[in-house]
Amino acid sequence: MPLVTTTKMFKDAYEGGYAVGAFNVNNMEIIQGIVAAGKKLNAPLILQVSKGARAYANHLYLVKLVEAAVEESGLPIALHLDHGPDFETCKACIDGGFTSVMIDGSSLPYEENVALTKKVVDYAHAHGVVVEGELGQLAGVEDEVSVNAEDASYTNPDQVEDFVKRTGVDSLAIAIGTSHGAYKFKPGQKPQLRFDILEEVSKRLPGFPIVLHGASSVIPEFVEEINKYGGSMPDAIGIPEDMLRQAATMAVCKINIDSDLRLAMTAAIRKHFVEHPSDFDPRQYLRPARDAIEGMVEHKINTVLGCAGKA
- Give residues in contact with ligand G3H (CB under 6 A): 24, 50, 52-53, 82-83, 142-143, 180, 258
Min. distance of Cβ 182 from ligand 13P in angstroms? Answer: 7
Is 136 or 214 the residue whose CB approaches ligand 13P more closely? 214
Confirm whether 143 is a catalytic residue: no
Min. distance of Cβ 215 from ligand 13P in angstroms? Answer: 5
d(CA 31, CA 303): 20
Is 42 or 153 the residue whose CB approaches ligand 13P more closely? 153
- List all residues 6 or more positions away from 218 whose beta carbon is below 8 Å from its beta carbon: 182, 184, 236, 237, 238, 239, 259, 260, 263
User: 283 by DSSP, 3-state: which?
Assistant: helix
Among 54, 213, 290, 310, binds Zn ion (CB under 5 A): 213
Chain residues in the site for ligand 13P (CB under 6 A) = 24, 82-83, 180-181, 213-216, 256-260
Q: Interface with Zn ion by CB under 5 A: which range of 25-33, 197-205, 207-215, 272-280?
A: 207-215
DSSP letter for 235, please. T
Please, what is the Cα angle at 190 between 188 and 195, to 5 degrees? Answer: 165
Q: What is the DSSP string of 182-231?
A: SB-S-TTPPP---HHHHHHHHHHSTT--EEE-S-----HHHHHHHHHTT-
d(CA 16, CA 45): 16
- Strand 140-142 versus strand 210-212 pairing type: unpaired
Is 213 or 254 the residue whose CB approaches Zn ion more closely? 213
The partner in contact with residue 53, picked from ligand G3H, ligand 13P, Zn ion, none with C-beta cut-offs of 5 to 8 angstroms by kind, is ligand G3H
Is 142 or 294 the residue whose CB approaches ligand G3H more closely? 142
The partner in contact with residue 257, picked from Zn ion, ligand G3H, ligand 13P, none with C-beta cut-offs of 5 to 8 angstroms by kind, is ligand 13P
Candidates 82, 104, 258, 260; catalytic one: 82
51, containing H or E segment? helix 51-57
Where in the sequence numbering do the catalytic residues fall?
Answer: 82
